[in-house]
Amino acid sequence: MIDPFGRHITYLRVSVTDRCDFRCVYCMAEDMTFLPKAEVLSLEELERLCTAFVRRGVRKLRMTGGEPLVRKNVMSLFRGLGRHLESGALEELTLTTNGSQLAKYARELADIGVRRVNVSMDTLDATKFRQITRWGDLDQVMRGLDAAQQAGLHIKINAVALRGVNDMEFEELIRFSHGRGIDLVLIEVMPMGEIGGENRLDQYLPLSLARTNIARHFTLTETDYRTGGPARYFKVEETGGRLGFITPLTHNFCESCNRVRLTCTGTLYMCLGQEDAADLRAPLRASDSDELLDKAIDAAIARKPKGHDFMIDRRHTAPAVPRHMSVTGG
């Protein structure tokens, strides 16, 4: 699949549920209204959709949410997609998780063929962790990290950079992550969805500033390491570990975007920061054949935009798009 700007689409991120057992202040409102179950695709339908994308050239699948591991029987979806790893049609099957359920599922994920997981963890302070996630338990996530490493999974910690909240902890997060052989990636706040009383402009920390501050404590050497996603990685010479930066606002990565996002309702978003989307649920359910589905996918990829519209400043404090990150998948 090639979009209008010559980019090969080889990466599909799939939100298997919009539900989550956390309510992170940069992602959700505390009193979220979730999708009616009747609108959500079955796991069998999600597997069929993913398989259609694999057949058309997707080489990497990432399961996201909400929190993907809170969906009932979600491991049946992982098992079904694992066959594409065995056949060689798929290079990688991964997930992004808040870590709350990893202790329960890490071994099974590894047995299926998952090799890497991204864990969202913004602080090492238990009290602050509860404040950021509203409902989360840091000890539970730590047990998940232990279980994942014991199962042989490679972990990357994702931390959203929040001004005045965790920006004084980056040195500690680097030492903690690298001390366990874990990559750390810092991410700029993205202006998606209403989040209640929080102000994203107050939350927003440009990672150019964070990098300057980190460089006062560590020697950062740029690398060409890539995982298929948008992070730019540096080697931290003092620890030997990798530190990544995802900068959709200060330095976007649209020119190399190779991914599209599928929601649990069968809606395909060609860009995280645009509202244009394609309904794949209707053609999926219209026929047992994939002919209509393939045509809908082709038409969607042909509309993939050049870049996103994310912006945060004093004149742009409202969300760039109305949907929450949990709808499209983090």
Residue 319: the pLDDT is 46
Residue 231: the pLDDT is 87
| ∠ Cα 171 254 214 (to 5°) | 15
Residue 96 annotated in ligand binding: yes
Residue 13 annotated in ligand binding: yes
Residue 120 annotated in ligand binding: yes
Residue 66 annotated in ligand binding: yes
Residue 271 annotated in ligand binding: yes
Residue 257 annotated in ligand binding: yes
Residue 208 annotated in ligand binding: no
Residue 24 annotated in ligand binding: yes
Domains present along the chain, CATH in parentheses:
11-328 (3.20.20.70)
Residue 156 annotated in ligand binding: yes
The 3-class secondary structure across 215-264, one letter per residue, is CCCCCEEECCCCCCCCCEEEEECCCCCEEEEECCCCCCCHHHCCEEEECC
Global pTM?
A: 0.86
Give the tokens for residue 33. Answer: 């209204």
Residue 287 annotated in ligand binding: no
Residue 232 annotated in ligand binding: no
Residue 295 annotated in ligand binding: no
Question: Cα separation of 303 and 127, whole Å?
Answer: 45
- In 131-140, which positions are buried (b, 16+ CB within 10 angstroms) versus exposed (e)? ebbeebbbee
Residue 289 annotated in ligand binding: no
Question: Cα separation of 249 and 254, whole Å?
Answer: 11
pLDDT tens digit at each of 330 positions of the chain: 999 999 999 999 999 999 999 988 888 778 777 888 888 999 999 999 999 999 999 999 999 999 999 999 999 999 999 999 999 999 999 999 999 999 999 999 999 999 999 999 999 999 999 999 998 999 999 999 999 999 999 999 999 999 999 999 999 999 999 999 999 999 988 754 444 445 555 678 888 999 999 999 999 999 999 887 788 999 999 999 999 999 866 555 677 789 999 999 999 999 877 778 999 999 999 999 999 999 999 999 999 988 755 444 444 444 444 544 555 555
Residue 191: the pLDDT is 57
